[in-house]
């Protein structure tokens, strides 16, 4: 499966501190064992491979705005996260590096979508493997068996 990332998230995928992504639900949900081909700026001239990683888990996620419309609430597999857990999760998802909290950055990032109501998403987790950005898909295949 191809996963495209905005440039702000690329360094975190490459260094291995971002090992999951939140994506809208699809009919053909990603499967455990499938290869995640992670790119920055997909389908652009500036497109670049960040790495190829094995999908190790897919979780259900509901993202909503709190009643005061000031922060994000996350429900993963039917369980709501506390504010601290949500902040930590969103920081690991790549919402970091500014003076704003991770929740406020995510609210700004998804604001238009969340204005229409809660987002039902998948969290796709992968196993980080350094150096996979240079490996071609063919070089990652198992060598053929040698007959004796």
Place of tokens 């980080």: 128
Claim: this prediction has a pTM higher than 0.75:
yes
Would you say 109 and 21 are in contact if contact means Cβ atoms under 8 Å apart? Answer: no
Give which of 146, 131, 71 is closest to 105, Cα–Cα.
Answer: 71
- The CATH classification number of 2-137 equals 2.30.130.30
State the sign of the Cα–Cα–Cα–Cα dihedral 22, 25, 27, 32. positive
Q: How confident is the model at residue 140 (pLDDT cuts 50, 70, 90)?
A: very low
pLDDT at residue 136, rounded to an integer:
53
Angstrom distance (rounded) from CA 76 to CA 91: 16
Whether 138 has a pLDDT exceeding 70, the answer reads: no
């Amino acid at each position: 499966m191809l996963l495209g990332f905005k440039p702000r998230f690329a360094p975190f995928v490459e260094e291995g501190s971002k090992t999951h992504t939140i994506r809208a639900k699809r009919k053909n949900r990603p499967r455990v064992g499938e290869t995640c081909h992670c790119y920055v700026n997909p389908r652009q001239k500036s497109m670049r491979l960040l790495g190829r990683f094995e999908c190790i888990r897919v979780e259900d996620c509901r993202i909503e705005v709190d009643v005061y419309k000031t922060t994000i609430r996350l429900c993963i597999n039917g369980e709501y996260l506390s504010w601290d857990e949500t902040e930590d999760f969103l920081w690991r998802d790549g919402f970091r590096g500014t003076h704003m909290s991770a929740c406020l950055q995510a609210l700004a990032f998804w604001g238009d979508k969340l204005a229409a109501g809660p987002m039902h998403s998948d969290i796709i987790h992968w196993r980080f493997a350094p150096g996979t950005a240079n490996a071609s898909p063919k070089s990652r295949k198992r060598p053929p068996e040698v007959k004796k």
